[in-house]
Structure 1
Amino acid sequence: MTLVLSHVDYLSVGVTSRGTTQILPQLDPQQTQKFVVGDHDGIIHIYGVKKGELQLIFKSLPGEIIKKVVLGGTIGTPKDKIFFAYGNSVKGYTKKGKMFLEFDTSLIDPISAMFVLGPDLAVCARDLYHRYQNCKDADSYLAGEILHDIILINNDGNSIIAVIACGDSAIRVLTGTSKPIILRLASVPTILKLYREGENESRDRILVGTQDGKIGLLILQGNKTIRIIWLLNNVGSEITSLDTYELDDGIDILVGRQDGTIEVFRFPIDDEEIVPTLRYRYNAGESISSAIGGIIGSIGSPEILVTTYSGRIFGLTTKSPGSLEAGADDLAINRLKMDIRELETKLNEANDTGSQHNDAFTPLTLSVNYRMHLDKDSASYLLSIELDTPIDNVLIQCDAPIELLQESNNAVLSLSTCDPHENNFILATYRCQMNTNRLETRIRTIEGQSGTLQIYVTTQIQPKCCRKIKIPIYALSMHVRLHDADNIDNNEVLFNGPYNELRLSGGFTVAEMHAWLSLALADIPERPYLQDNEVTLNYVSTIAGTILKCKYKKGSAVFMGENISTIIILRDLLTKEATKRKIKLDVYCNVEDETVRRILELIHPRLESIHELKEKLKILDTLQELEMMNDTSGNLCTIYQKLLNEEDNLRMQIAKDPDNLQRLYGVVIDLYVDWQRAKGALRMTSLVAAEKLNPALESRSLSSIFQVFFGLQKNNE
């Protein structure tokens, strides 16, 4: 890493959402830049540094939660007008704090993303994009998918191009009401940012950040084509902020992440061949709301202005900490005094809020920032919980079988005895260390076991505050959605062999079936997308790699899957939901024996690979014992020396998923039980199936596993 930056604390505001801090343009090179931030208290703050001291220029009255802050202005002039979204409305302020716009969009859902380009205002609310020109309707688009971010581009004055980051892992490019151009990505895009040099924004190059931590550069060719120039595949925490800025010699990419990491990458000079190189990394300890480049604290010293979830604002400056100016000590003291005043104000507000509650045992409501998303590589869910105050305890309870895979390194885990017969499969408490604002853990679910994960979070402040969070556990929790091209008819190529089929018919509607499936599968679209009066959804299993295709219309549904366990789980859930609503279903299930054979053939190489890895680790453990007794490393054969050289990598592989072998055993056992059920045999428990299969699984002989499956079938016949 070649970049050295120094930390400078500025101030604290209320809890902030992503993209609610902006730096106003630098009109005079002999002056520092002002910045604006909006928080969950509904307050807009404008600050600037004058004579080396941070000064408040404007502060609005409290109001509704501010979800987005953007800059705008007349095309061709500096963007010095401030626009912010709250609820379904937008307000505009000048850089001096004078309000010039108050606009109600009349949208049903609150605004989640916004962009201003000259007279054009674009907003996204859940799955709806709407553009206004001079506060009058211009065009709109119902995507049917959650919309995460949007930017507008002026197409040579002929039209306005909207580029939207969508929840179905797609970038959609819209020109008016014409059909959108769609670019499919490997993960959900969360952030879009126009490439900029100084105050000049590109009209064809767009940075994109994804949910699984990737960063890419897109190029827009007119309004006809969009493609990826390069993609940085370093998988990490979700991207929450992107910017480009020249910190020293050359343009850098400034990256903020959900886990609190701030990174600086050098922008490639030849972006056709080279990907960015990492120059700097810093962790703020809480998720990043904004990370923007500008001249804030000192003239001639570029820096990254960072805002965190809790509202902490600080700079990472290129100015050397040793280059102190005259009066710098006085400046530091003044800043400390300002921080103390801010803290005193917050303390008084907290005490006033607490005194309004007569019942000391009545918990206050907290604003909690939480995420739970599936990590495809480890086939587990990453759960992160974050507060703007220190966490005291996190209690986790679930009415479905789940496994906590990873203990947090800043909390102590305690497990309590539970009774599964009372729908209480896990009860765990994380007791956090002092000043811990963020907690992460990994959770693994069991397919076929749906339920609700309930999380209770308490804080260390007095009076005790508590928040309850409910997160659904899906019946097919280890399946991720495949986002294909619009031509759904070509999706039959997904199946490379035979598949099982479930057909349902009855008095249900498309919306009803859509709602039922949302209990089984994650990432179901906000609204069913109909083509020829039919909806098509495709999913893939992160464990077995098998495909599930769902097709449904009014009164009819067809589910095709390579794994019979998936089909049986769907059959049980859908018939249960129909029975609840007293809807009669005609059910037809066709099972292909060859699908069972194919899944076993898919899983067998993984069984062999994991077993080989575990055997290598046993040898390494033995070699370590030998070395402790006597230094024999120089006398080892080539194979053992090679193992020692690969030890770190091998142990890292097993650390990622230490129970992967048992999980694969479980997949085969469930397959056996569900296959027997589908064939109409007597109901078999998993315990009985395990007793029959374990010897064959431990032998790792594919023919022995086949014998248990198909040999028993022949005997029954």
Structure 2
Amino acid sequence: MMEINLTRVDYTQVGVTSPKSLSLLPVSGKTQKIAVADHKGVLQVFGLKKGEVQSVFKTQPGHKISRLELGGPVDGVRERIFVASGPEVKGYTKKGKNFLSFDTNMSESIESMYVEGSDLFCCGKFMYNHYRDCKDTNFFLSGDEVSDVICLPTNVVQDITPILACQDRVLRVLQENELLYEVEVPGPPVTMSLYGNDGGEDGTEILFGTADGRVGLVHIGRTLMSCRTRMYWEKNRRDQPNHRWELPNDKRNGGVLCIDNYDITADGVLDLILGRDDGLVEVYSYDDSDEPIHRHTHTCSESITSVQGGIVASGGYDEIVCSTYAGWILGLTTEIKQKKAGPGAAILTAEGRDKIVGLRTDLEELQQKVMSEREKYQQTAQSNTAISAVPSFHINDKFVLNREDASYTLSLELQMPIDNVLLQSDVPIDLLDVEKNSAVVSYSACHPEEGNFLLATYRCQANTTRLELKIRSIEGQYGTIQAYVTPRVQPKTCKVKQYQIKPLSLHQRTHVFDDNRPHNTLKLTGQFSQAEMHSWVCFCLPELPEKTPPGDKVQFHFISTFLDTQLECLYSKGLATFRSDNISTISILKDVLTKEATKKKVRLDITYDVNEDSIPYTLNLIHPKLEYQLLLAKKVQLIDALKELHVHENNLEFLSPEYRQILEDADQLKIEYKRQPCHLERLYGMITDLFIDKFKFKGQNMKGRVPALLEVLDNYDLQTLVQFFEQTQ
């Protein structure tokens, strides 16, 4: 397998960019031009000649541009540039002529957009609108936030088939103004792309990337293309949508923000190119297998908002053009940028020397400007009429639940370097180690009795624009985390961001529910509206839409990322029913919902049904996790003793294979144990809560029996633990 060598080349910097706001225009001559739009409202097209940026056109600043798409005739050349700003869409030719200014009259700003021939698909947070020749054709209100929109190619698939990527982990396939069906994906989808840029042979294959870093290929059922009614499709389920492959995120990389298909390996097969929000650009090759194989990774220090493969700087040399959140436009090129003259030496070309001289001149001019402006500011500050302007800045943040380790990832990104971040929490949380985090953390003394459980300061190294933190919460304890972000600017300023830790914070949305499990049921009746109950449920659980979904009844399903227990929420006006195989989940819901109803002065009638079989069932779900953590802790305790033995004894053949394996894996075991602090204590805490909650529903206070329970856990055996739960009265 040939190795890929890519060299980074920085081209220019624009304003802050949104995902999918850069595209390469079709080849003109030997190279391609770059079209990019930013939050300053500027659209610009430029090319490169001998490494120098040559502008084709540049628009005047205006409202923030949220998306850039290329359009053209169906099955023709896509060379017309469309940009979305607020509710308006503008179109430009490749030379810069403004041929379209279309106000969609949408009540929401356009967040995502797609162009297919004379069809324009626009989405706000929840609204989808389809326009044909700028006439409103179809409308759809999504049940959850829309992240991206795409349409199957109409030159292959005759019917207009838009697909919405929604935050509730589904792709919604539409036909006209109706929801045809939903395709569940493994994480909240953020971006989509046509497989091979054309949807494959049938035009029905869609690549998707999720917020938790997964990538997959899904085939949209073809039967729906030839039918006009849902009834016909229901009768022909043999060609349902199916998942071709999914790439797991074993290395826990960032969320996927952009996808492209381009043959960067020059083997005649299109490669898969990904841009992630932690700054990774990845290349995957298909080779002989259907599932792509990882070939190359390049690390940037900022979120990658767009990736496009093409030929830009030099004719005949493929490259990947990327835009970052802070507006850097860079290329990862296959062209070798220096000629080596010997070990450790390099000869600069005349072109390279000229470029360095030019950059030094530009740098000196900028330094002079900065000094001049600084002097002006100092003089103004000393006068009586001085007004100190606080510099404004935007924080690109993300607070996402990861199923793999049941933790939240908090990422904070600025256009400018971060000086420090102060993290304060009024709820107990654990901060987990993040390998890619180079900031120095220090903890301050806190007083939990005053509602302050955590005070940590992260001091960032120079030029750090992105900081990533990992947080694990405890279910049943809820509150607010506040991040005070201070950038390296003068005068000093700070921005505060707040993140809610919800009572059932470790639950995530799912669309599968196993009715065969033993369930505990909580039923609430009272004078509450459906919207009121939805707001209370939103307060308890993450990943729910702010707006109440349409319909007389609302149903949501959840799974615990920590224990794999499940929860069903079903509610309408005046009636709400909750089912879970974990009695502690029901107990938390009962306490919190009662409290919220009391605040609103709404009287609730509460009935519940406790299924005794659910207790051993939940303990069996906890068992493999608890057994693994106990074994891990035991192995880590043995490492030092075994290492000391290894120093004194050259021959360790007398040791059992198990102990020899512990010595071989010592470093990995320590890393894993360090990565999961308090994991064992958490599992103990959950078993203790389960014990207390079981008897709480019977009206008994069993806190006095907790020491006896802990004794059983110290000599852990599943059958003994189950018997303790059953025999205690």
Q: How many equivalent residue pairs?
A: 696
Give the alignment of 1:535-550 within 5 angstroms. Answer: 535-550=554-569
1:139 counterpart residue number: 138
Code of the aligned partner of 1:552: Y
Secondary structure of residue in 2 paired with 1:160:
coil
Residue 259 of structure 2 aligns with which residue? 242
Aligned to 1:518: 538
Sort the Cα spacing of 1:7 and 1:351 in 2 relative to 1 into closer, same or farther, 3 A: farther
- Measure how far apart 1:300 and its partner are: 0.8
How far did 1:516 drift? 0.7
Shift of 1:635: 4.7
Q: Distance in 2 between matches of 1:5 and 1:94?
A: 32
Contact 1:198 1:245 in 2 (8 A): no
Instruction: State the TM-score, normalizing by the size of structure 1.
Output: 0.91
Partner SS state of residue 335, structure 2: coil
Residue by residue over 1:101-144, the C-alpha shift from the partner in whole angstroms, topping out at 9 and shown as x without a partner, is: 11111112211110111111101111221110111111122121
1:440-487 CA-partner distances (Å, limit 9, x unpaired): 111111111111111110011212232111111111001111124xxx
Does the residue aligned with 2:641 lie in a helix, a strand or coil?
Answer: helix
Determine whether 1:709 maps to 2:708.
no
The answer as to whether partners of 1:407 and 1:413 remain within 8 angstroms in 2 is no
- CA contact 1:669–1:690 (8 Å) conserved in 2: yes
Shift in CA distance, 352/574, structure 1 to aligned 2, threshold 3 Å: farther
Q: Any conservation in 1 of the 2:199–2:206 contact (CA below 8 Å)?
A: no
SS of 2:419 mapped into structure 1: strand
Deviations, residues 379-420 of structure 1 (Å, cap 9, x unaligned): 111111111111011011122221212267421212222222
Alignment CA distance shift 1:202-1:410 (3 Å): farther
Provide the residue aligned with 2:7 in structure 1.
Answer: 6
* C-alpha RMSD over aligned residues: 2.9
Task: Give, as a single letter, the amino acid of the residue that structure 2 aligns with 1:174.
Answer: L
| SS of aligned partner of 1:155 | coil
CA 282–375 in structure 1, closer or farther in 2 if over 3 Å, else same: same
What's the offset of the Cα at 1:201? 11
Deviation larger for 697-706 or 69-78: 697-706
- What displacement does 1:648 show? 4.8
Distance (Å, rounded) in 2 between the aligned partners of 1:198 and 1:519: 42
Identity over aligned residues, as a percent?
A: 39
CA shift, 1:607, in A, is 2.1
Between 1:73-82 and 1:342-351, the stretch displaced more is: 342-351
* 1:121 and 2:149 aligned: no
Identify the range of structure 1 (644-653 vs 18-27) with the bigger mean alpha-carbon deviation. 644-653
Q: Which amino acid aligns with 1:329?
A: R
Q: How does 1:595-606 map to 2 (within 5 A)?
A: 595-606=614-625
2:214 counterpart of 1:203 = no
Q: Does 1:364 align with 2:387?
A: no
Specify whether residues 563 and 352 from structure 1 end up closer, same or farther in structure 2 by C-alpha distance, changes over 3 A only. Answer: farther
Q: What is the CA-CA distance between 1:362 and the residue it aligns to?
A: 6.9
The separation in 1 between residues aligned to 2:380 and 2:578, in whole angstroms, is 55
**Further displaced range: 243-252 or 408-417:** 408-417
1:452 to 480, 485, 494: 480
* Counterpart residue number, 1:189: 189
* Residues 152, 199 of structure 2: 8 Å contact kept: no
Q: Do the aligned partners of residues 405 and 50 (structure 1) sit closer, same or farther apart at CA in structure 2, a change above 3 Å counting? A: closer
Residue 155 of structure 1 contacts residue 222 of structure 1 at CA under 8 Å; is this kept in 2? no
| 1:382 pairs with one of 405, 409, 412 | 409
CA–CA distance in 2 between the matches of 1:301 and 1:344? 38
Mean Cα displacement is larger for which, 187-196 or 515-524? 187-196
Partner in structure 1 of residue 445 of structure 2:
417
Deviation at 1:712, TM superposition (A): 3.3
1:636–1:596 CA distance, 2 compared to 1 (3 A): closer
1:359 and 1:472 mapped to 2: Cα distance? 39
- Bigger Cα displacement from structure 2, 66-75 vs 413-422: 413-422
Q: Distance in 1 between matches of 2:574 and 2:91?
A: 49
Q: Partner of 1:37: helix, strand, or coil?
A: strand
- Aligned CA distance change for structure 1 residues 623 and 330 (closer, same or farther; 3 Å): same
Alignment of 1:410-559 (within 5 A): 410-484=438-512, 491=513, 494-529=514-549, 533-559=552-578
With 72-81 and 107-116 compared, the bigger mean Cα shift is at 72-81
Matched residue SS, 1:203:
coil
CA contact (8 A) 1:378 1:656 kept: no
Which 10-residue stretch deviates more, 348-357 or 364-373?
348-357
Which ranges in structure 2 are unaligned for 5 or more consecutive residues? Answer: 225-239, 340-347
CA distance in 1, matches of 2:380, 2:284: 49
CA deviation after TM superposition for structure 1 residue 348, in Å: 9.0
Query: Which amino acid is 1:448 matched to?
Result: G
Partners of 2:396 and 2:374 in 1: how far apart?
Answer: 20
SS of aligned partner of 1:240:
strand
Change (3 A) 1:117 1:661: same
Partner of 2:212: 212
The 5 Å alignment of 1:43-192 reads: 43-50=42-49, 52-156=51-155, 158-192=158-192
1:421 CA displacement = 2.8
Deviations 1:178-237 (A, max 9, x none): 442322112122111123469999833322112222222233453624332222224432
Residue 488 of structure 1: aligned partner? none
Task: Report the CA distance between 1:262 and its aligned residue.
Answer: 0.6
Matches within 5 A, 1:654-673: 654-673=673-692
Moved more, 432-441 or 42-51: 42-51
The whole-number CA distance in structure 2 between the counterparts of 1:195 and 1:46 is 26
Equivalent position of 2:233 in the other structure: none
Within 2, Cα distance between the matches of 1:362 and 1:331? Answer: 36
Check whether the contact 2:140–2:178 (CA below 8 A) recurs between aligned residues: no
- Partners of 1:346 and 1:220 lie apart in 2 by 56
Q: For the Cα contact (< 8 Å) 1:620–1:643, is it kept in 2?
A: yes
Provide the secondary structure at the position in 1 that maps to 2:152. strand
Look up the match of 1:681.
700
- State the match for 1:330 in structure 2: 354
Contact 1:260 1:288 in 2 (8 A): yes
Structure 1 residue 312: Cα displacement: 1.0
Bigger shift: 626-635 or 382-391?
A: 626-635
- Partners of 1:268 and 1:350 lie apart in 2 by 57
